[in-house]
Structure 1
Amino acid sequence: MSGNLRITSALMDATLLEMPWHLPLDQWPDDVVVTLPKGISRHLVRFAHLSGRVVALKETSDEMARGEYDMLRRLGRLQVPCVEPLAVVAGRVDEHGEPLETILATRHLKFSMPYRALYSGSLKVATAQRLVDALALLLVRLHLVGFFWGDVSLSNTLFRRDAGAFAAYLVDAETGKLYPGGLSRGQRENDLEIARVNIAGELLDLQAGGRLDEGQDPVDVAGSIVAQYRELWAQLTEVEQFDQAERWRINERVERLNALGFDIDELQIRTDADGTSVRIQPKVVDAGHHHRRLLGLTGLDAEENQARRMLNDLDQYAAAQRRRGDDADDEQLAHDWLVSRFEPIVQAVPRHLRGRLEPAEVFHQVLEHRWYIAERESRGVPLAEAVQSYIVDVLEHRRDEAAVLEVSTQTVPIPIIGPNGQPIGDEDLEVDWRDLV
């Protein structure tokens, strides 16, 4: 290793020094490299093992690598969904002393995939639409914090399943800029037009390769991001005026924003001089309303739609318990729900199937499966029966997403915090599906 090597890292890991930095990235040995699906990139990107985790490595210029590293760290502090930067490795030279490009290392986002890898055959139009909708929400969140992306596309985004929808994460920030004072309308519209054109090109490319289901024009699907973005932006930022007698609309506005997953930092409320009308404008903080509530009540870390679904089940459980005379507080009922509902469902999944989906998505799909059985057979379905049916009829036939990503499928950690404040490990939870009621 050359003494000129310079590593700037947010990860205190000595194994960074053991990586073959003296080799061009396309020559790294197979025992270090991991083969994972990846999107289209103007730079060479490869994945590698590092201390039991998978990292993405991108060769680029020193200036671009440091700029993107700093930008991703800033976006992370703003709680924007993006990949986590780990290190910038500069000053690389090969065995002959010739300089090599700087490498930016980021943590691979587990259970995420580029849009091209979501389906091994063809991408269904409905799925393409959900990806575009997820990207629209991500773009709104980025614009709310004053980030101009400059290269919005499906290729520069990773997607994770989120209770029937998708959650989008920014994966390439090299063209982005943060404006503390916020973006102008022209900047936002520019980003939106870049998104529309890029998505149309990506979907047309899939169509030309026979990998997009017929039935809808890719240009129409791409164009839908404009309407979706503008509707979200209006809900989050526009001033609303109404008669003073309709003050209930203040709570309605807050509820609509919460339903979209956003919390309110403050409301500006103004009345006219004669007191006949009211104007309100919300100051929206970062998304994650349901995520934060679920995390606070149970210690579960889930995507927003998954959290919404779990909270609905938790609230129904709490209501049923209170009808039976249980006067426990919200925190105790949440703990009871965790122990009697969530944990048994997740732990009922055989170990060899736990790489198929992350635990929160399994829980959501079990509830969906139970509802479908009940609708089809017009009867109440015990949860234990639904879990067993889901494992045999659905999960057994899913492709192993963790295996596709070449990540170990022996265990899937469940992010649960126990009542003593310590993480509950997989070994602490031994549940038979027959215990479910």
Structure 2
Amino acid sequence: MTIHNMETTKTHSSSAHVKFHMDVHNRRLLQDLPWDALLEEWPAHGVVPLQVRRGESRHPVIFVEREGVRYAIKETTPHMAEREIANLREIDRRGISALSPVGSVIVSAPPILLEEKGPNGLPEYISGDRGYTVTKLAPRVIPHVLLYRVPFTRKTKRRILSAIAILLVELHEHGVYWGDPSLANVLIRIAGQRIQAILADAETVEFFPGPVNEGLRQQDLESFGESLMWQAEDLRYAQGLPEDEELIDDKDFRYLEQRYRILRREHRQLHYSLASATRFQFQHMLETLNERGISLLGIGGQTFQQFATVLPGWYQRRIHELLDIHVPRKYARRFYNTILSHQYHLSQNEGHHISLERAAKDWYTRYHLPAILFLRQHLTKGQDPLQAYFSFLEYRWKLSQKVGHEVPLEEAKSSPLYIFQHLNWTKN
């Protein structure tokens, strides 16, 4: 989490007293906005809102750009603005995907008359003060109301629900009870071939020093299930769809629950077994996760936060970023998992975290290239060494599974069975 020098700055306008609770840079960019007016009146004061995709919100929201920085500004009460920004900062500190907090703005204004004669016969007023939460506008995100405009196939639905299940487990395992989980409070980021759910409303969250208890977990799951049903119904009416056409049904919620429980179980197993697992055991865990539609994107201090739902092609793109090589799609996942396993092995041996970039280059130089050179010596001109290499990886993987431990490269390539089945025939 980035730490800024925070300042509280007061500015005066014609009818309001404004306090900025944010760092100097962002305050400078935002201080000349018409804070003495309601958000809905800002366009009349010369503010040109960004035309971006937006979802539903209980509060007025505006998107603005200041010197190339894009902000989302939400109008609420002073207490809720300060609470939500504090919550977002704590969520960020715990490493969970959420809106990026900038700060809050508090505007003092005259009291608002509620009733000419209250219960005691005197005028009754409420505070006219307003609060604003300011966040960085998340790039490449889709509000839930727009998700239904894309082809909402069963596969697309399940990828989105898997991403939301990952977010829920991340929150609960890191001691965050959401309190108001719903599609309306989620943004979906589709970056390349990766789908990620981002928490977009933190007003109601509560924090605990350890994982959230069973009762609160179930409350969040049930609340999200209820929201799925009524939001899908609202969208059906809004789009003029017939009553018998359901965008989301009970099967979808059961799928979300199933994904949540699988992810939670995998998290628990990784938490207890990762520290002592061999490289072969670690790669076996990766394969098991992949079979369940879950991908581990990298190893870090908080391993589980690297889990994701990815689209076809993500592994190829990531390998190209790391090594500048192209790998056929059908082999890319195992190729990438091999790099992850090497990162895990290096980190264990050296006693500290090794970056994926360093691990990829080390593995490529020490293991991949020597294997390719070995295979070139046994292949004819017409044989593709890369195809043979993946056959070798497949053979080594199956041999490791059979003996119950990782088979070294030298032992695998000198195996009589491998030479007979995969090399000798190529020369005939």
Query: What range describes the TM-score normalised by the shorter chain of this pair?
Result: 0.5 to 0.7
Helix, strand or coil for the counterpart of 1:104? strand
| Structure 1 residue 6 displacement after superposition | 0.9
Higher RCO, 1 vs 2 (CA within 8 Å, ≥6 residues apart) = 1
What TM-score, normalized to structure 2?
A: 0.59
Q: How does 1:281-360 map to 2 (within 5 A)?
A: 285-288=303-306, 308-313=315-320, 317=325
- Say whether the 8 Å CA contact 2:236–2:247 is kept in structure 1: no
- Say whether the 8 Å CA contact 2:228–2:248 is kept in structure 1: no
C-alpha separation in 1, matches of 2:241 and 2:92: 33
Gaps of 5+ in 1: 267-283, 292-302, 321-329, 338-379, 381-437
Per-residue deviation, residues 384-423 of structure 1 (Å, max 9, x unmatched) = xxxxxxxxxxxxxxxxxxxxxxxxxxxxxxxxxxxxxxxx
Per-residue deviation, residues 333-353 of structure 1 (Å, max 9, x unmatched) = 869x9xxxxxxxxxxxxxxxx
Are 1:136 and 2:165 matched, yes or no? yes
In structure 1, the partner of 2:212 is: 183
- Say whether the 8 Å CA contact 1:148–1:178 is kept in structure 2: yes
1:112 aligned partner, one-letter code? V
| Structure 1 residue 200 displacement after superposition | 1.9
| Structure 1 residue 41 displacement after superposition | 1.6
Go from structure 1 to structure 2 and tell me whether the alpha carbon gap of 1:198 and 1:181 turns closer, same or farther (over 3 Å shift): same
C-alpha separation in 2, matches of 1:253 and 1:186: 29
Q: 1:223 aligns with which of 215, 229, 254?
A: 254
Helix, strand or coil for the counterpart of 1:136? helix
C-alpha separation in 2, matches of 1:332 and 1:175: 41
Go from structure 1 to structure 2 and tell me whether the alpha carbon gap of 1:125 and 1:10 turns closer, same or farther (over 3 Å shift): farther
- Say whether the 8 Å CA contact 1:121–1:211 is kept in structure 2: no
Helix, strand or coil for the counterpart of 1:18? coil
2:158 aligned partner, one-letter code? Q
Helix, strand or coil for the counterpart of 1:236? helix
Q: 2:35 aligns with which of 21, 27, 30?
A: 21
Go from structure 1 to structure 2 and tell me whether the alpha carbon gap of 1:306 and 1:25 turns closer, same or farther (over 3 Å shift): farther
In structure 2, the partner of 1:261 is: 296
C-alpha separation in 2, matches of 1:254 and 1:21: 51
Per-residue deviation, residues 177-230 of structure 1 (Å, max 9, x unmatched) = 111122111111111111111112212222233377957753322332111111
C-alpha separation in 2, matches of 1:49 and 1:187: 38
In structure 2, the partner of 1:68 is: 84
In structure 2, the partner of 1:422 is: none
1:32 aligned partner, one-letter code? V
- Say whether the 8 Å CA contact 1:69–1:85 is kept in structure 2: yes
1:218 aligned partner, one-letter code? D
What TM-score, normalized to structure 1?
A: 0.58
In structure 2, the partner of 1:79 is: 95
Q: 1:201 aligns with which of 221, 226, 230?
A: 230
- Say whether the 8 Å CA contact 2:179–2:204 is kept in structure 1: yes
| Structure 1 residue 77 displacement after superposition | 1.9
C-alpha separation in 1, matches of 2:188 and 2:182: 12
- Say whether the 8 Å CA contact 1:162–1:304 is kept in structure 2: no
Are 1:107 and 2:120 matched, yes or no? no
In structure 1, the partner of 2:52 is: 36
C-alpha separation in 1, matches of 2:187 and 2:261: 22
- Say whether the 8 Å CA contact 1:263–1:286 is kept in structure 2: no
| Structure 1 residue 111 displacement after superposition | 1.3
In structure 2, the partner of 1:54 is: 70
Per-residue deviation, residues 261-312 of structure 1 (Å, max 9, x unmatched) = 276779xxxxxxxxxxxxxxxxx63422799xxxxxxxxxxx8987644234
| Structure 1 residue 130 displacement after superposition | 2.4
Are 1:9 and 2:22 matched, yes or no? yes
C-alpha separation in 1, matches of 2:204 and 2:36: 28
2:82 aligned partner, one-letter code? R
Per-residue deviation, residues 203-260 of structure 1 (Å, max 9, x unmatched) = 222223337795775332233211111111111114999xxxx996565236646963
1:69 aligned partner, one-letter code? I
Helix, strand or coil for the counterpart of 2:84? helix
C-alpha separation in 1, matches of 2:109 and 2:128: 4
In structure 2, the partner of 1:236 is: 267
- Say whether the 8 Å CA contact 2:189–2:197 is kept in structure 1: yes
1:105 aligned partner, one-letter code? V
- Say whether the 8 Å CA contact 1:88–1:105 is kept in structure 2: yes
Helix, strand or coil for the counterpart of 2:202? coil
- Say whether the 8 Å CA contact 1:83–1:171 is kept in structure 2: yes
C-alpha separation in 2, matches of 1:209 and 1:219: 21
| Structure 1 residue 19 displacement after superposition | 0.7
Go from structure 1 to structure 2 and tell me whether the alpha carbon gap of 1:15 and 1:306 turns closer, same or farther (over 3 Å shift): farther
C-alpha separation in 2, matches of 1:306 and 1:92: 52
Go from structure 1 to structure 2 and tell me whether the alpha carbon gap of 1:217 and 1:47 turns closer, same or farther (over 3 Å shift): closer
- Say whether the 8 Å CA contact 1:147–1:177 is kept in structure 2: yes
Q: How does 1:382-393 map to 2 (within 5 A)?
A: none
Tell me which moved more, 47-56 or 217-226: 217-226
| Structure 1 residue 88 displacement after superposition | 0.5
1:226 aligned partner, one-letter code? E
Q: How does 1:149-188 map to 2 (within 5 A)?
A: 149-164=178-193, 166-188=195-217
Helix, strand or coil for the counterpart of 2:189? strand
C-alpha separation in 2, matches of 1:50 and 1:142: 32
- Say whether the 8 Å CA contact 1:140–1:229 is kept in structure 2: yes
Gaps of 5+ in 2: 1-11, 113-126, 329-356, 365-383, 385-428
Go from structure 1 to structure 2 and tell me whether the alpha carbon gap of 1:217 and 1:49 turns closer, same or farther (over 3 Å shift): closer
